């Protein structure tokens, strides 16, 4: 087969060049040009079209008012793995494409094999395409998972054209490609795993999914920086992007939806890795707490809202005298936000840490992005600096503004009820989140200003 003409596309701006160049001629970014296949039709004829009227070149199409279009809800096929269905927004969608990323060894292959087997048991034909392991290795894993009589079809193949032909011939309802980085197309000369290959193969698979109604799940590797390897366009191409999170040293894993055309984003699924694979944790609110027998300085429990569920996460801080260049480090929390909170603490609550190292950690490898974590972060820092523990059974949440005001968090009542259910007894919350009726067993301190909140740990 004759090879299509190659062009080089900038992964930043989408500009093209007929040759590879170190610097993109359109936006000036370095090392961003990657090889791709030129679309059919030459640019001269396209230019001619845009210069003249379109009326003679194509038939005008009928348009429809929005209200006249019948809105159908997409049909979903639940896998029966409840925590996975939750992040997917109810289950697999016909023709939907899901990208799932995460560190090596976190459990992507394990979860997807379990999901395919569960889907197969609901009567949906499935295909597992493995480019990283042999069929025998996949079989070995399935036995470890207790899927002894699994009817999931396995294809050990990395060439895109062969994968697409097999999909067409076997007509599965759901296909897993593990991983997209191993797949390569004959049409491109660049090496498997290169940005051009990954993007081109993902585009072909997405097109195949849309035209055949097959649901496709792509496994993607994550770079050291935590982004999915390959161009960002991979995230734009697919319908749903899921990320695996968690500390490989702990057994808990979170699967988070960061984009979902068919459901809510920031919904999470919680799993525990056992010797027989991933098991869903349906009540995860207390898994990110470390057990202290007595309260210790520098620890504050935050009630955070992950998707639809409140979860309690311990925030730990260590503030210690520093050398000439004090360090600010955070794990699981945004570092820029930490710098801002330290400035607010100094300016509005008189808590000075300019000559101190400040380390902040969210326990259990969970990533917290909501600003409602502010109050708990500030309380743990103040508590560590003053060497004074917060009261026993203490929780906090609330966003803090630059003027030192404490702003309400969404769905405060639910957070408080969850904390009370788990036996917490003292809460510092934004004034607007104070419950109208007392919550049994929970003493509430409603605050408007950050200095009021910090007075709880007055040294």
Q: Is 108 annotated as a binding residue?
A: yes
The 270-309 site mask, x for binding ligand TYD (CB under 6 A), equals: ---x-xxx--------------------------------
Q: Which is nearer to ligand TYD, 124 or 222 (CB)?
A: 222
Q: Which is nearer to ligand TYD, 130 or 353 (CB)?
A: 130
Q: Is 334 annotated as a binding residue?
A: no
Vertex 229: Cα angle to 223 and 233 (nearest 5): 145
Stretch that binds ligand TYD, among 137-145, 359-367, 375-383, 389-397 (CB under 6 A): 137-145
Interface with ligand TYD (CB under 6 A), residue from 11, 36, 110, 316? 110
Interface with ligand TYD (CB under 6 A), residue from 108, 120, 199, 415? 108
| Cβ neighbour number for residue 21 with a 10 Å cutoff | 14
Minimum CB separation of residue 77 from Mg ion in Å reads: 23
Stretch that binds ligand TYD, among 67-75, 99-107, 303-311, 336-344 (CB under 6 A): 99-107
Q: Which is nearer to ligand TYD, 155 or 420 (CB)?
A: 155
Q: Is 435 annotated as a binding residue?
A: no
Minimum CB separation of residue 120 from ligand TYD in Å reads: 18
Per CB under 6 A, does 107 bind ligand TYD? yes
The entry of ligand TYD, Mg ion, none that residue 204 binds, CB within 5 to 8 Å by partner kind = none
For the record, the structure tokens of 3 come out as 């090879």
Q: Is 393 annotated as a binding residue?
A: no
Q: Which is nearer to ligand TYD, 19 or 224 (CB)?
A: 224
Q: Is 69 annotated as a binding residue?
A: no
Minimum CB separation of residue 102 from ligand TYD in Å reads: 6
Q: Judged by CB under 5 A, how many residues of this single chain contact Mg ion?
A: 1
The entry of Mg ion, ligand TYD, none that residue 206 binds, CB within 5 to 8 Å by partner kind = none
Q: Which is nearer to ligand TYD, 108 or 348 (CB)?
A: 108
Stretch that binds ligand TYD, among 108-116, 201-209, 432-440, 442-450 (CB under 6 A): 108-116
Per CB under 5 A, does 109 bind Mg ion? yes
Give the whole-angstrom CA distance, residue 289 versus residue 376: 14
Give the whole-angstrom CA distance, residue 442 versus residue 421: 10
Interface with ligand TYD (CB under 6 A), residue from 33, 116, 127, 145? 145
Minimum CB separation of residue 289 from ligand TYD in Å reads: 23
Stretch that binds Mg ion, among 29-37, 50-58, 102-110, 121-129 (CB under 5 A): 102-110
Q: Is 392 annotated as a binding residue?
A: no
Per CB under 6 A, does 23 bind ligand TYD? no
Interface with ligand TYD (CB under 6 A), residue from 9, 11, 109, 353? 109
Per CB under 6 A, does 106 bind ligand TYD? yes
Write a three-state SS string for the chain: CCCCCEEEEECCCCCEECCCCCECCCCCCECCEEEEECCCCCHHHHHHHHHCCCCCCCCCCCCCCHHHCCCCCCCEECCCCHHHHHHHCCCEECCCEEEEEECCCCCHHHHHHHHHHHHHHCCCCEEEEECCCCHHHHHHHHHHCCCCCCCCEEEECCEHHHHHHHHHHHCCCEEEEECHHHCECCCCCCCCCCHHHHHHHHHHHHHHHHHHCCEEEEEEEECCCCCECCCCHHHHHCCEEEEEECCCCCCEEEEEEEEECCCCCCCEEEEEEECCEEEECCCCCCCECCCCCCCCCCEEEEEEEECCEEEEEEEEEEEEECCCCCCEEEECCCHHHHHHHHHHHHHHHCCCCCCEEEEEEEHHHCCCCCHHHHHHHHHHHHHHHHCCCCCCCEEECCEECCCCEEECCCCHHHHHHHHHHCCCCEEEEEHHHCCCCCCCCCEEEEECEHHHHHHHHCC
Binding-site residues for ATP: 102-109
Which residues are at the interface with ligand TYD (CB under 6 A)?
Answer: 102, 104-110, 141, 144-145, 273, 275-277
């Amino acid at each position: 087969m004759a090879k299509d003409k190659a062009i080089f596309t900038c992964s930043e701006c989408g500009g093209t060049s007929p040759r590879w160049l170190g610097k993109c001629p359109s936006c000036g970014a370095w090392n961003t040009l990657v090889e791709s296949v030129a679309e059919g039709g030459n640019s001269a004829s396209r230019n001619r079209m845009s210069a003249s009227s379109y009326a003679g070149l194509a038939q005008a199409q009928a348009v429809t008012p929005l209200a006249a279009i019948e809105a159908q809800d997409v049909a979903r096929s639940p896998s029966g793995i409840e925590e996975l269905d939750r992040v997917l927004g109810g289950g697999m969608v016909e023709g939907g494409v899901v990208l799932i990323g995460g560190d090596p060894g976190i459990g992507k292959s394990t979860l997807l094999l379990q999901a395919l087997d569960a889907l197969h048991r609901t009567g949906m034909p499935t295909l597992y395409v493995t480019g990283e392991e042999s069929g025998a290795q996949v079989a070995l894993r399935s036995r470890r998972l207790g899927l002894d009589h699994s009817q999931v079809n396995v294809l050990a193949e990395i060439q895109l054209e062969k994968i697409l032909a097999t999909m067409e011939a076997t007509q599965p309802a759901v296909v897993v490609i593990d991983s997209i980085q191993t797949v390569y197309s004959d049409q491109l000369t660049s090496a498997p795993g290169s940005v051009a290959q990954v993007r081109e193969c993902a585009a072909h698979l997405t097109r195949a999914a849309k035209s055949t109604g097959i649901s496709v799940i792509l496994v993607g590797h994550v770079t050291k920086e935590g982004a999915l390897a390959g161009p960002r366009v991979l995230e734009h191409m697919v319908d749903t992007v899921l990320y695996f999170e968690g500390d490989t040293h702990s057994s808990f894993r979170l699967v988070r939806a960061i984009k979902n055309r068919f459901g809510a984003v920031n919904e999470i699924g919680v799993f525990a890795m056992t010797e027989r694979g991933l098991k869903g944790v349906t009540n995860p609110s207390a898994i990110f707490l470390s057990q202290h027998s007595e309260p210790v300085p520098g620890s504050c429990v935050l009630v955070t809202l992950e998707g639809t569920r409140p979860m309690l996460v311990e925030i730990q801080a260590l503030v210690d005298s520093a050398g000439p260049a004090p360090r600010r480090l955070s794990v699981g929390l945004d570092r820029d936000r930490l710098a801002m909170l330290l400035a607010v603490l100094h300016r509005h609550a008189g808590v000075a840490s300019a000559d101190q190292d400040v380390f902040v950690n969210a326990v259990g490898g969970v990533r917290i992005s909501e600003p409602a974590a502010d109050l708990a972060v500030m309380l743990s820092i103040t508590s560590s600096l003053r060497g004074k523990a917060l009261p026993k059974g203490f929780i906090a949440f609330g966003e803090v503004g630059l003027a030192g005001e404490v702003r309400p968090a969404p769905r405060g009542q639910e957070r408080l009820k969850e904390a009370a259910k788990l036996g917490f007894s003292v809460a510092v919350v934004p004034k607007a989140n104070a419950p109208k009726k007392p919550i049994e067993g929970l003493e509430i301190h409603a605050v408007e200003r950050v200095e009021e909140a910090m007075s709880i740990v007055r040294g």
